Amino acid sequence: MDIRPATPSDAEGMKTVHDEIFAAGLRKAPGDIRQVMASYIDETDRIGCFVAVDDDGRIMGFQSLRYARTGNPYGVAEGWGIIGTHVSPHAARKGVGSGLFRATLDAAKTFGLAKIDASIGADNALGQAYYEAMGFRTYRTPEGLVCKMFEVSA
């Protein structure tokens, strides 16, 4: 498994990961190339976005980390990081998410982030278990969400 920063040529494969998560009933909408480009590749507040690629060049998953500005739609405190993780069900439970978080954490440290928010659906036990395993802990529970926080140490 290779883990590297996402580039525009990864957008199609990242969309496919969203399609596969949607097909498994773990996502509300299928993939959309424009949304992938805007939210992950061209995101102006991007701190890091990493893809995990298998030996055949297929994208198994990706993880984004963006800077939280005042008034962000997630209600995250300004100056924190906001993380999102997307692993294809075809590649689940093989360490892809863990590998992605190692790269993201390096990027967070390089950037100088102190805290990272993961806002997870209250009904997404799998996502909650993953972030808990990565060291995130619940710090608020707005309607429909479980928000977990990771404290970045140098």
Do the beta carbons of residue 36 and residue 18 sit within 8 Å? yes
Q: How far is Cα 28 from Cα 12, in angstroms, rounded to an integer? A: 19
DSSP 114: -
Q: Does 120 bind ligand COA (CB under 6 A)?
A: yes
> Does the protein bind ligand COA through residue 92 (CB under 6 A)?
yes
Q: Shortest distance, CB of residue 13 to ligand COA, whole angstroms?
A: 14
Q: Alpha-carbon distance 152 to 52, whole Å?
A: 22
- Letters for 48-67 (x = contact with ligand COA by CB under 6 A, - = none) are --------------------
Tell me: does residue 86 bind ligand COA (CB under 6 A). Answer: yes
Could you give the residue ranges of the DSSP H alpha helices within 50-148? 96-111, 125-134
Using CB under 6 A, pick the residue from 7, 98, 110, 141 that binds ligand COA. Answer: 98
Find out whether 74 and 68 touch, Cβ atoms under 8 Å. Answer: yes
Residues that bind ligand COA (CB under 6 A): 21, 26, 85-87, 92-98, 120, 124, 126-127, 129-130, 133
